[in-house]
Structure 1
């Protein structure tokens, strides 16, 4: 958003934002609070904190009737409606879309044609992913630990893929930015793990491919995901867009996580270890 729309953007995790003592209250600053359910306790508390200080606040949730949206100065509907499953996929994708569209609106940029291209590409990505999954299902089903890595803007996509695999299948997962992945984590790598390396032309491409080659040759099960491939085990995202490519990459991982969960007999409409709510309050 900073690069394409020319806006200054700061990102805070809710627990970090909660510790900030002196919020900037300038009228040219907008605080955006994102919660699909609109009931995330810490996000709500942060919104109230900013509101009391007179900050401009905007919420992005699944409904204008949620506690968070009702307290914010402005509201944008995430557009995900009520998802069928507990573990969200549409909500993440729509959050990406809404944030990009908001950036375009505030900067008077118009890249909607790029968004339409991505939307048109997703059906093929889903079909290709299902075929890829059947070809690699045996190795995926044998393992329950996965590492994800990507450089720069691919790192947040890796993190979301990590969460989906942990929530849905569930796997034990861990994500590292590519540079960090090279220093220390390799000490634990072995053939009982699965490795997903995200790659995109122009985003530390050579380093990403080199890491994938090392993992394939020296360790074991590694899959390169993106618009560069080494062998038939990799997944090629054809016609990778310059903007909104996050939706193309995460689509692959959402489908694979769903298929693995289904083949392992996981009911995605039922939560696991839900008794945690007796000890910790996550929602209002």
Structure 2
């Protein structure tokens, strides 16, 4: 595939399949560390898309490992998080491995006696000096900072880590182990299908999806992670304001700002809340006609992206992130950020990432 956002999106399904097929090897060093002690909590430290990808996996990890999984931003952990002990297992996540906040947070974790595993796409980055062990989560090389396949493969890695660790600790049976992995393989093929369906959906709605103005994205469960990532992607690639809301929280204030100029995007992640997402889709039309819905329901509305699938709710974010990634990849080609040079100067001044050492691949 070509080194473009859209090319990377197209690669994501195959990468997930490859990683499922080598999951024992891919996750081994992280699983080895996890099985050294009887941990009672997993704490994930991450920022940006890494935070969102972790959120997409959080509830599945809890379901399989029968353990509390919390996610905290790197800055907050470094300065404010103080409730943990030696039974807290830490993942520090950063695709480039150069996030100063994340690496400082990992230093704090280790200083306080916590087991810290680094997940990255660049194992030769400086992150390796801040963790007990460092793992490449299997994303290949991604050279564009508006990451796409990195998010999908991170979510998949954390799911696979949970499956492999639960199997080793005899928390799940062989049948459950095989079932989860087969479901992930099936989901990866639905990812391929989603790229095709979402591309057609974008083309059918290109005028509106290029002129987004203000976007509100609504999700629930693991798909709240997809909503978070969708809002981040749209904001950073198109310059349009975008915010993610947990489904019911949208009604507790944010809906007040919704008006005919607003674009509202709703993710139907299946599961018990699915009917409620349909109710909200219908209700939001009282406020704006610019309502987009990602669902497996047949609805006669070109703004509705319908994809028939059997993906379980706990893996749904793997397909639900894709429409937002496609909007971002297509709209990015139409927009030049007038503040790009100033933003780069600001980032250099603030030093939020360590310089490259010259050994890293990708971003």
Question: Would you call these one fold, judging by a TM-score over 0.5?
Answer: yes
Residue deviations 1:248-284, cap 9 Å, x none? 111121112111222x2449xx877212124422112
Deviation at 1:221, TM superposition (A): 0.4
Q: Is the 8 A contact 1:194 1:221 kept in 2?
A: yes
- Give 3-state SS (helix, strand or coil) of 2:72's partner: coil
5 Å-filtered alignment, 1:180-191, equals 180-191=249-260
> Does 1:235 find its partner at 2:305?
yes
- Give 3-state SS (helix, strand or coil) of 2:292's partner: strand
Partners of 2:246 and 2:105 in 1: how far apart? 28
Q: Which one scores higher on RCO, CA 8 angstroms, separation ≥ 6?
A: 2
* Equivalent residue in structure 2 for 1:4, among 51, 57, 64: 64
Q: Is the 8 A contact 2:94 2:102 kept in 1?
A: yes
Corresponding residue of 1:104 = 163
Deviation at 1:141, TM superposition (A): 2.2
- Give 3-state SS (helix, strand or coil) of 1:85's partner: coil
Q: Is the 8 A contact 2:269 2:317 kept in 1?
A: no
Structure 2: gaps (5+ residues) = 1-60, 355-363
* Equivalent residue in structure 1 for 2:277, among 184, 191, 208: 208
Corresponding residue of 2:127 = 68
Partners of 1:128 and 1:78 in 2: how far apart? 27
- Give 3-state SS (helix, strand or coil) of 2:71's partner: coil
Structure 1: gaps (5+ residues) = none
Partners of 2:253 and 2:189 in 1: how far apart? 40
Aligned length: 279
Kindly report structure 1 stretches of 4+ aligned residues shifted beyond 4 Å: none
Gap change, CA 1:219 and 1:68, over 3 Å in 2: same
Gap change, CA 1:101 and 1:271, over 3 Å in 2: farther
Q: Is the 8 A contact 1:146 1:174 kept in 2?
A: yes
Q: CA RMSD, aligned part only?
A: 2.0
Corresponding residue of 1:14 = 74
Deviation at 1:170, TM superposition (A): 2.4
Corresponding residue of 1:249 = 320
Corresponding residue of 1:148 = 217
Partners of 1:212 and 1:197 in 2: how far apart? 7
Corresponding residue of 2:94 = 35
Partners of 1:152 and 1:23 in 2: how far apart? 25
Normalised by the length of structure 2, the TM-score is: 0.72
Deviation at 1:171, TM superposition (A): 1.5
Partners of 2:310 and 2:328 in 1: how far apart? 21
Corresponding residue of 1:85 = 144
